[in-house]
Amino acid sequence: MNNSSFSKENISSDGVNLTEIFYVLSGKKKLIISITLIFAVLSVLISLSLTNYYKSEALLTIAGQSNSSNALSGLGGIASVASMAGINLPSSNSNRSVIAIKTIESRAFLKHLISFEGVLPSIMASKSYDHNSNKILFDPDIYLADTKEWVREPKDDKLSIPSYLEAYDVYLKRVSISEDKLNNLISISVEHISPIFAKELLELIISQANELIRSKDLRESSDAIAFLNNEIPSASLITMKDAINKLVQSQLEKQMLSRVNTEYVLKVIEPPFIPENKSRPSRAIICILGTFFGAIIAIISILMRQYFFREQLDDVIT
């Protein structure tokens, strides 16, 4: 009996509370509207103060190895000889994609990129973008474009000129890479306040990734050919000589591909472009969310003032 009465009282109390809440909010609707409008205006001002970013994208595939190279890598005897000599056989496309992606994401690669003029200031000191002149405006407290001089004050054991290690975190935020292993496709994008620099940096990343991997393979194949040519006269077994000759042939083919193909690893399907529309911020979403949270904060504040603080006052009085 007592439990039933208690439940009915709770239901009745809840109904009264909901009705009371409605009337409380209705009576304070001008205050709610005022607070919501304040948040709406603030969200508009904040969204307008944010810098526009533009994203250039490119779609790539991995340049395939020739059939003879793939067949060679599958021969166990030759693979054993190559392994003993420390020679790398042609990799599969999946391995080449991993090498390309990890190269682009490496600190050493960024160190190479910032050796090109304008890359480091554009990454570390850009402040805004002038669409009329199509130029990046740099922070004068960090970098002077006229004299190409770094003027930021050294602090926290950092020099005036940012190191590649310091720029690395910023670089990773600007560059995004994703791989579709099923279709052997790689998507790369670069985001920056300058749409032109975003496109130019993406082109530089693709070309230099190809160049660095190509140069590395060219050096390795040259060393391998020199080593194998010295080993052929001293090989006693005919099968061993045949294996070495096939290894030499594979390295010569590797050299030919390295010298002929500029798109050595990354082959462009859709080239980088100059984006016309910003990628962020989404000012409409910022304004909507700001207005929404303003209304929520206004309602919660009114209810807390009406009930929470009143209950505390009643407790003090009693």
Query: Is residue 34 a part of any domain in this protein?
Result: no
pLDDT of residue 10: 44
C-alpha span between 248 and 246 (Å, rounded): 5
pLDDT of residue 16: 41
pLDDT of residue 244: 58
Q: Count Cα atoms within 13 angstroms, Cβ side, for 262.
A: 6
pLDDT of residue 175: 94
Positive or negative torsion for Cα 89, 106, 200, 50: positive
Q: What string of DSSP letters covers 112-147?
A: HHTTSTTHHHHHHSEEEEETTTTEEEEPTTTEETTT
Query: Is residue 138 a part of any domain in this protein?
Result: yes
pLDDT of residue 271: 94
pLDDT of residue 3: 47
Q: Which of 215, 253, 258, 249 is nearest to 229 (CA)?
A: 249
pLDDT of residue 15: 44
The terminus-to-terminus CA distance of the chain in angstroms comes to: 30
C-alpha span between 180 and 85 (Å, rounded): 34
CB 21 within 8 A of CB 302: no
Q: Count Cα atoms within 13 angstroms, Cβ side, for 186.
A: 23
pLDDT of residue 270: 93
Residue type (1 letter), 52: N
Give the total number of structural domains in the chain: 1
Query: Is residue 193 a part of any domain in this protein?
Result: yes
Run means of pLDDT, 10 residues per run, the chain, 318 residues: 44 55 76 87 85 93 61 46 49 74 94 94 92 91 90 84 92 92 90 94 94 82 67 55 63 64 84 90 85 87 72 49
pLDDT tens per residue, range 90-149: 555 568 888 889 999 999 999 999 999 999 999 999 999 988 899 999 999 999 988 989
- State which H helix or E strand residue 189 sits in: strand 185-192
Give the domain range for residue 134. 58-270
Query: Is residue 16 a part of any domain in this protein?
Result: no
Query: Is residue 95 a part of any domain in this protein?
Result: yes
pLDDT of residue 155: 82
Positive or negative torsion for Cα 262, 266, 267, 272: negative
Q: How many CB atoms lie within 10 A of CB 5?
A: 9
pLDDT of residue 22: 74
Query: Is residue 40 a part of any domain in this protein?
Result: no
Maximum distance among all Cα pairs of the chain, rounded to whole angstroms? 107
pLDDT of residue 297: 87
The token pair that represents 93 in the structure block:
């496309």
Q: How many CB atoms lie within 10 A of CB 10?
A: 10
C-alpha span between 73 and 251 (Å, rounded): 12
